[in-house]
Chains A and B, each alone.
Chain A
Amino acid sequence: MEDRPLIPIRTYVLVYIALMLLLFTNMAMAYVFLGRHWSNAISVGIGAIQFLLVFLFFMHVKYYRYPLIRLFACAGLFWIALLLVLTLSDYLTRNNPPDASPRGEPVFLKH
């Protein structure tokens, strides 16, 4: 049984074009003033879409016929998700320690 079928070049070209368009969009959006939260969400969101395109099509995770390989491929991402959610559930809910200003204003050196 062939593990990975031969994927048409057209698919790769389309994914590559999509990746480049997303890169241009991301770069352009960085110049548009949208406020911190929207801007950050769009930038990281576009990064996540690019990540998925590479992960699914270039790394062939979409095309593996064996579910166990897909499970292994997703395991790493699952652990990062776990790390992120559990860490942030701590940091976002605890009181700010004295050295950090609640709104994150910069601290300047006195000298």
Chain B
Amino acid sequence: MDPRSTDNLHLHEQFETLQQQEYAATLGMWAFMATEFLLIGVLFVAYGVCRMRWPEAFRRGSSEMHYWLGFFETAIILTTSFLVTLALRAAKLGNNRQVIALFATTVMLGAGFLTIKGTEWYLEYGEGLVPGYFTTIPTKEAHLPPDQQHPRPVQERLFMLFYYLLTGTHAVHMLIGMGLLSTMMFLTARGKFSASYHTPIELVGIYWHFVDLVWIFVFSSVYLLRQ
């Protein structure tokens, strides 16, 4: 490498080239992603096992989800993933203004996602679905005579517990992702990245797509299994 190149500013001493450094960083990121897959994978497997054991109670749980809100959340998160890929492409081309604009939009859409999520949790609280305040008789049927009520099976509480664990873990990851994207935005604005050096942006992109992947499965296996 040309010793006068500004890329040398980013090259750490243990690496020979920026490409080698990026290779090592990407490999490390994927090793971290494997641990993330395991973290969330355990929850999904436990959820699957319980679902097989009490299919009727879990079906009832899924049918009480606000799946239209879930649908909008999924559409938002798929869009953010798309925007992040465009941002990575822009970073590769050295178009920093575009990177900032795309990341800002992503963070705002992420905030929109969390707002809808919060609304959903609030609605479920009102419906007596939160595990700690779980009511066997649905709140809206509480005033009806007992023969017109449709009591919830107790295992539905377990379903709700999984639902909160999965969506809560996802929301925490999303907050971290939004923080990382904002940091990248700030660093890009300060001119820290260029067409030849933008590894942190690539790595944060991988993290954001992971958040997307988790949600895809939350939506298709928690919200939509209503039959």
Contacts and interface: CB of A to CB of B under 8 A. Distances in A.
B122 interface: no
A47 B154 contact: no
A54 B34 contact: no
Interface residues of A, number: 58
A36 B216 contact: no
A40 B227 contact: yes
Interface string A76-111: 110110011001100110000000100011111100
Contacts of B22: 3
B105 interface: no
Interface stretch (B1-9, B77-85, B175-183): B77-85
Interface residues of B, number: 63
A29 B48 CA distance: 20
A69 B23 contact: yes
Given A6-B89, A55-B213, 10 more contacts: A4-B92, A7-B89, A16-B79, A23-B74, A54-B209, A72-B34, A79-B41, A80-B45, A84-B45, A107-B57
Given A106-B56, A108-B153, A76 B75 contact: no
Given A23-B78, A55-B213, A66-B23, A75 B34 contact: yes
Interface in A35-87: 35-36, 39-40, 43-44, 46-47, 50-51, 54-55, 57-59, 64, 66, 68-69, 72-73, 75-77, 79-80, 83-84, 87
Contacts of A66: 23, 27
A20 B75 contact: yes
B225 interface: yes
A72 to B, nearest CB: 4
A68 to B, nearest CB: 6
B206 A79 contact: no
B55 A36 contact: yes
A37 B35 CA distance: 31
A56 to B, nearest CB: 11
Interface in B91-109: 92-93
B169 interface: no
B26 interface: yes
Contacts of A19: 78, 81-82
A63 to B, nearest CB: 11
Residue with the greatest number of chain B CB neighbours at <10 A, chosen from A9, A76, A108: A76
A26 to B, nearest CB: 6
Interface string B204-221: 011001101100110111
List the 6 closest A-B pairs by CB distance, nearest first: A47-B220, A106-B153, A76-B37, A76-B34, A80-B41, A72-B30
B26 A3 contact: yes
B127 interface: no
Contacts of B34: 72, 75-76, 79
B153 A76 contact: no
Contacts of B35: 76
Residue with the greatest number of chain A CB neighbours at <10 A, chosen from B30, B56, B205: B30
Contacts of A33: 227
Nearest to A106: B153
